[in-house]
Chains A and B, each alone.
Chain A
C-alpha cells in the first residue's frame, strides 16, 4: 500500500523531470545503475530501447531519402523548365480542346514507378478515372495507356480490360527526347485514337503539383473541327508550304505534337514525383522525431520507476531489519 502510494508519487514526479534539464553527472550515474543487471524489471526498458533504435533508424533513412530526392529534383527541374516551351507553339496553333466530342478517347496516365512519393499517383489515377467517366457514352469506349508501375497497380484492379498498353521502367535511364519519341511512336502505332488525353502532375513548386490534362487530336478530328469552325476554325487560313497535302502534314504534325507533349508531361511528372517524395520524407522524419521524443519520455519514466522501486525495497528491507 505504501509502496503503491510511493510508486504513484514517482509517476507524478516523472513528468517534472523533463529530458533536457537533467545534468550530465546525474544522467551518467543513472545510466550506470541501469546497466547493472536488474533482473526482470529491465525487460520493459529493453523493449522501449529497441523501439527507439528502430525509430531512430527510420528517421535517418527518411532524412537520407529526402536529400536524395532533393538532389534528383534539382537535376531534373531545369530540364523540365526548359522543355516547357516545346508544347506552346502547338497549343497556339491547334488550340486546347479538352471538351472535344469524339468516339475513341485514349487516356494516357503518367505516374511513377517507385512509391513513397505522397499522393501524386493517386491524384493522377483519380483524374484519369474521372476523365474515363466523362468521356464514356453509349458508343464511346475510352481506353487507358498506363505509364508507370503505380498507376498500373491501381488501374488494373478495376479497369483491367480497358488498359491497352502499359509501360514501366521509364526512369531506368535519364529521360531524354529520343526515348520518349520512341515511346510515343509505339503508342501511336498500336492504339486507335481520335483524341489522346495525357494526364500528369504539373510541377509548379516543390510543394505544389497540379493535375493537368493535355489533349492531342488525331489528324482526322483536327480536319473535322477545322471545318466545323469554332476554335480550330482559322486553321484553314494557314497555307501549307511544300508539296504535301494538308492531311499528310497534319498527320506529321499531330504525331510530333504528341511526342512533344508526352516529353514535357513525363519530365513534369518526374519533377512532381521528386518534390512529393521530398515533402513526404520530410514529414515522415519529423513524425519519427516526435515518436522518438515520446518514447524517450516513456523510457525515462519506466527507468526511474524501476529505480524508485528498487530503492523502496532496499530501504524497507533495511528498516525492517533495524526495527
Chain B
C-alpha cells in the first residue's frame, strides 16, 4: 500500500516537472545570409547556462539570391498588420503610390526604398489588375526582383463608399480651417490628404 502511494507521488511529481521548456534543441532549418553566429558565440561565453534566444531571421524563409539575368516576373509581398494580402505572388508589374507619384515597378528594377503616400496600389498579372487603396507605408524593391510593400491599412477599391468619402473630406477641411494647435492642424491635414486621395482613387 505504501509502495503504491509512493509510486503515485513520483508519477505526480514527474508530470509536474514536464512543463514546456524553451530549450532549443533543433538546428536552424536554413541558414540565411543574415543569421548572426557572432551573437550565439558571445552569448555562450558570457551566459553559458541559458540557451541563447532565437532571432527573427531564424523564423524567416531565406530570400532568393540575385539572379544573373533579369527574371520575367516580379515577386510581390504585400503585408498589413492584420493579414498578408499577397505573399510571394509572381506578377508582371506593380504600380505603387510613392511620395513622388505613381511609380511602376517591373522585374529587374533598381533596388529602391520608397515611402508611400495614400493612394492606389495596382497589381498587374497578365490582363488582371487588382487595385488596393493604401493609407501609406513603405515599399522596398530588392535586387533579386522581390518587392515588399508594407502598409498600415489597405482596402480593395470596390469597398470604398463615395458618399462617406465626400462627407469625410468636408469634415476634415472644416476641422483644418478651425484647428488651433499644431497637433490638431497636423491631424486635420492628414485627414484631408487621405480623403482627397480616396476621392482621386474613386474617380481615377
Contact = CB atoms under 8 A, between A and B. Distances in A.
Interface of A: 15, 79, 82-93, 95-99, 118-120, 123, 126-127, 130-131, 133-134, 177, 181, 199, 201-202, 207-215, 231, 234, 237-244, 249, 252-253, 256, 260-261, 263, 276, 279-280, 283, 286-287, 290, 293-294
List 8 A-B pairs, minimum CB-CB distance, nearest first. A89-B148, A241-B114, A85-B84, A96-B57, A99-B39, A177-B81, A99-B38, A85-B79
Given A85-B79, A213-B53, A208 B20 contact: yes
A211 B51 CA distance: 9
Contacts of B57: 91, 95-96
A18 to B, nearest CB: 10
A276 to B, nearest CB: 7
Contacts of A201: 22
Contacts of A286: 15
A83 B112 contact: no
B29 to A, nearest CB: 13
A92 B24 CA distance: 24
A133 B53 CA distance: 14
B36 A96 contact: yes
A241 to B, nearest CB: 4
B159 interface: no
A280 B16 CA distance: 9
A172 B35 CA distance: 36
Contacts of A83: 81-82
Contacts of B148: 88-89, 92-93
Interface stretch (B97-105, B126-134, B175-183): B97-105
B22 A177 contact: no
A91 to B, nearest CB: 5
A152 to B, nearest CB: 20
B142 interface: yes
Nearest to A263: B81
B5 A294 contact: yes
A82 B82 contact: yes
Nearest to A240: B113
Contact of B100 (A96, A243, A263, A290): A243
A214 B55 contact: yes
A295 to B, nearest CB: 12
Say what secondary structure dominates the interface of chain B: mixed
Given A91-B60, A95-B57, A241-B114, 12 more contacts: A93-B113, A95-B34, A98-B36, A99-B38, A177-B82, A210-B53, A211-B54, A238-B112, A240-B112, A252-B138, A256-B150, A280-B19
A252 B22 contact: no
B91 interface: no
B164 interface: no
Interface residues of B, number: 59
A30 B82 CA distance: 62
Contacts, number: 177
Interface stretch (B40-48, B165-173, B185-193): B40-48
A93 B141 CA distance: 9
B113 A96 contact: no
A202 B36 contact: no
A183 B16 CA distance: 37
A260 B56 CA distance: 13
12 contacts: A88-B148, A89-B150, A91-B56, A92-B60, A207-B20, A212-B59, A213-B55, A238-B112, A241-B103, A241-B115, A256-B137, A283-B15
B56 A212 contact: yes
Contacts of B143: 234, 237
B1 interface: yes
A214 B58 CA distance: 11
B15 A260 contact: no
Contact of B113 (A88, A99, A131, A239): A239
Contacts of B53: 127, 131, 199, 210-213
Nearest to B143: A237
Given A89-B150, A123-B22, A202 B113 contact: no
Counting chain A CB atoms within 10 Å of each CB, the highest count among B58, B113, B146 belongs to B113
Given A89-B79, A177-B82, A287-B16, A98 B113 contact: no
A131 B54 CA distance: 12
B77 A89 contact: yes
A96 B35 contact: yes
A237 B35 CA distance: 21
B169 to A, nearest CB: 22
A199 B50 CA distance: 15
B123 to A, nearest CB: 16
A239 B111 CA distance: 6
Given A92-B63, A215-B55, A85 B42 contact: no
